[in-house]
Structure 1
Amino acid sequence: MPSVSSGWRNGCRAIDERHLVRVPRVAVAILIAIVAARPPIGQSDQAFQFIQEFSGFFTSGITVIFVLGLFWKRASEAGASEAGAIAAAVASVLLSCPFRALTPDIAFMDRMALVFVICLALAVIASLLRPAGAEAIRIRTGNVDLETPRVFNVGAIGVELILVALCAT
C-alpha cells in the first residue's frame, strides 16, 4: 500500500506531514512579524521612513570615512574608526527621537548634514592628532588612468540635464 504522501488517494491529493507543519510555522512567523513591527516603527508613518531613519544613524559616518579615505592623504584609522563611525552613531542618537526635548526638531536631511559636518570635523581632528603610522595600509593610485571616453562624458552630461529638467518641473 502506498504511503499517504505519495500522491492521490480517493480522488484527493495527499498532503505530506512536512507541509502540515510548515504552514502553521509560516503563519505564526507572519503574525509575530506583524505584532513586532509596530513598536520599532513607533511614530513613523511608514516602514520606509523608519528604515531611512535607522540607516541615517550610520550613513553620515560611512560617507565621512570614504570621503577622507579617498581624497585626503593624511586621514588615519583613528579618524575613520573613532570619529567617523562612532561619532556618527552618537551624534545621530543625540539629535534624534529620545532626546527631542534637549534638541530642536530637526528635519531628517538637515540632521544628516549636521551629523556629516560634525563627523568630518572630528575625523580631521582625530587624524591630525593621531596620524597614520608607517605600517598603515595604503592603496597606490598613481598608475591608475582616470580618464573617461568622450562619449561617456557627453552621455553623463545628458543624463544630468534630463534629471535637472525632471526635478525642475
Structure 2
Amino acid sequence: MRPKALYVETVIRTDLDTLWRHTQDPALHRRWDLRFADISTVAGHDGHFRYASRFLGVTVTGVGVSAASRTWPDGSRTSVLRFASADPLSLISAGAGFWRYTPVGDGVRFVTGFDYGTRWGRFGQRADRVFRPLFGWMTAWSFDRLRLWLETGTPPEDQLLTAPSAARCGRTRPRAEVVAR
C-alpha cells in the first residue's frame, strides 16, 4: 500500500505578496522551515536550489527546482517544485509538491501537498512509516512558525519550541477541497 501524500494548510493574516516573498526567498525560507538547515540558489540557474537537512545529527543534501508558478484569475498563486537527493544517507530519493496561496477574508490560506519516493528497499519503506508522520508534523510546525512570524513579528529563531497549531499535521486533504484546476 502506497503511503498518503502529505498535506498541511493554515491561514496567515498577511498579504499574499509578503507570504510569497517569505516562502520563495531562500534566505527567508530557511529561517522558518524546520525541515531545512540550509537552502541556497544555484548560481546561473533560475529556480534551481540546493538544500541540506539535518535530522538526528545526520546531514543530507539534495537539489530542487521550482518547476512552475502561476497566478490564477481569482488572485491565488501556485508554486510547483521537484526535489531529489543523491545522498545515500537520505531516505528520500525524489519527490514533488506544490504550495497554493489563496486570498481569504483576513489573510491568505497557505497550503502544501507533497509526496516523495524512498530508497533502501523494504527497509526504507518501513522507516518511512515513522519518518513520514514526523515530516508532516515538522511541516505543520514550520507553517506555524511562519504564521507567528508574519502575524506577530516574532522571528522564528526567537519563538519558543512549541507550536500551538502543529497538531493539524495529522489531517489529510479534505475531500471537499479536491478540485481539479
TM-score tier, shorter chain, comes to under 0.3
Q: TM-score, normalised by structure 2?
A: 0.24
Structure (1/2) with the larger helix percentage: 1
Structure (1/2) with the larger strand percentage: 2
Q: TM-score, normalised by structure 1?
A: 0.25
